């Protein structure tokens, strides 16, 4: 036990603040801590304290239990975590369903359409998706001053729940969507992100994937600067930033760029595609 407490202090000092207390495993004591990416590691005492009569060359190939638990072998196998590190669960059962949170702000539905496309793409690949719209920071009296704002917001709020801290903790990946506000993220989405400070402090966002998409009302209206303005925030949260690959073909023909999939700027009339290494965007004006 003393050995494990010393190890826990070392892990905490290295930044693994969610390291467990020593767990009594009957034969030995263990600590558990999560690495970036969500992989849980076990740190056990040097000697396991018991031996299994098993040939060294085949150690670990069979599920071994102490004599008093062998009658419950099938039951216990069924309760094992479905993990790729568990060789006793069939390969078809190993893959868990990825959980994707798509959280966006949209006033005139342009960013909403992108959010729907992101969610549909993830669901087509088998992901469990939560699509959420952040709420306004002003009241109806202010919203009425912009034609259509209150009506659009009311309709979208009826379609989508507001995102919560629990949604972010649940997700394996978080995809943020925002219109541009003078070349930067909208205050509504930023307010939600700022509210994730509790999860950040506990390290519960570390290792999750993070990405972003956005829209502007005109070409060259701040698409890339808006997306880039969110990158430092995602890095501070502990997210692993995911963006489209930049194809080498884009550099092979001077004066002409080839847009990668899901990375485009679109106008309703020209349907013009331009390259962006940062993430999806749209010009709606």
Give 42-75 pLDDT, tens digit per residue: 776 655 444 455 555 555 566 667 777 788 877 7
Q: What percent of the chain has pLDDT over 70?
A: 66
Domain assignment of residue 62, given as a range: 2-94
Domain final residue, candidates 39, 71, 94: 94
Residues 89 and 106 in one domain: no
Candidate from 159-173, 186-200, 256-270 with smallest mean pLDDT: 256-270
66 backbone dihedrals φ, ψ, rounded to 5°: -65, 160
Residues 199 and 88 in one domain: no
Confidence class of residue 36 from pLDDT cuts 50, 70 and 90?
low
At 176, list the tokens.
Answer: 């943020």
Q: Which residue has the higher pLDDT, 273 or 104?
A: 104
Provide the pLDDT for residue 126: 87
Total-model pTM:
0.58
State yes or no: pLDDT of 125 exceeds 50. Answer: yes
At 185, list the tokens.
Answer: 């993220």
- By C-alpha distance, which of 105, 52, 72 is closest to 215? 105
Provide the pLDDT for residue 51: 47
| Spatial separation of the C-alpha atoms in residues 177 and 215, rounded to whole Å | 8
Domain final residue, candidates 68, 94, 120: 94
Number of domains in the chain: 2
State yes or no: pLDDT of 169 exceeds 70. Answer: yes
Residues 205 and 253 in one domain: yes
Domain final residue, candidates 94, 111, 136: 94
| Spatial separation of the C-alpha atoms in residues 161 and 209, rounded to whole Å | 22
Candidate from 44-58, 122-136, 252-266 with smallest mean pLDDT: 252-266
- By C-alpha distance, which of 172, 169, 159 is closest to 116? 159
């Amino acid at each position: 036990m003393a050995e494990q407490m010393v190890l826990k202090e070392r892990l905490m000092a290295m930044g693994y603040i969610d390291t467990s207390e020593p767990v009594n495993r009957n034969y030995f004591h263990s600590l558990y801590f999560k690495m970036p990416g969500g992989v849980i590691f076990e740190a056990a005492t040097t000697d396991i304290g018991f031996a299994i009569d098993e040939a060294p060359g085949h150690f670990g190939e069979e599920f071994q239990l102490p004599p008093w638990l062998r009658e419950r072998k099938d039951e216990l196998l069924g309760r094992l975590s479905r993990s790729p590190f568990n060789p006793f669960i069939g390969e078809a059962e190993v893959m868990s369903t990825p959980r994707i949170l798509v959280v966006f702000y949209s006033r005139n539905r342009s960013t909403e359409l992108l959010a729907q496309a992101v969610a549909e793409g993830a669901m087509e690949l088998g992901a469990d998706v939560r699509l959420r719209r952040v709420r306004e920071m002003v009241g109806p009296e202010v919203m009425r001053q912009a034609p259509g704002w209150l009506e659009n917001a009311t309709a979208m709020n009826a379609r989508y729940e507001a995102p919560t801290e629990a949604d972010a903790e649940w997700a394996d990946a978080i995809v943020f969507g925002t219109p541009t506000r003078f070349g930067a993220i909208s205050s509504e989405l930023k307010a939600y992100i700022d509210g994730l400070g509790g999860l950040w402090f506990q390290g519960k966002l570390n290792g999750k994937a993070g990405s972003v998409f956005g829209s502007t009302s005109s070409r060259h209206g701040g698409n890339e600067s808006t997306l880039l303005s969110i990158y430092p925030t995602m890095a501070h949260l502990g997210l692993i930033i995911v963006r489209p690959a930049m194809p080498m073909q884009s550099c092979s023909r001077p004066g002409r760029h080839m847009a990668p999939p899901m990375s485009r700027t679109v106008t309703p009339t020209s349907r013009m595609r331009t390259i962006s290494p940062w993430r999806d965007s749209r010009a709606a004006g």
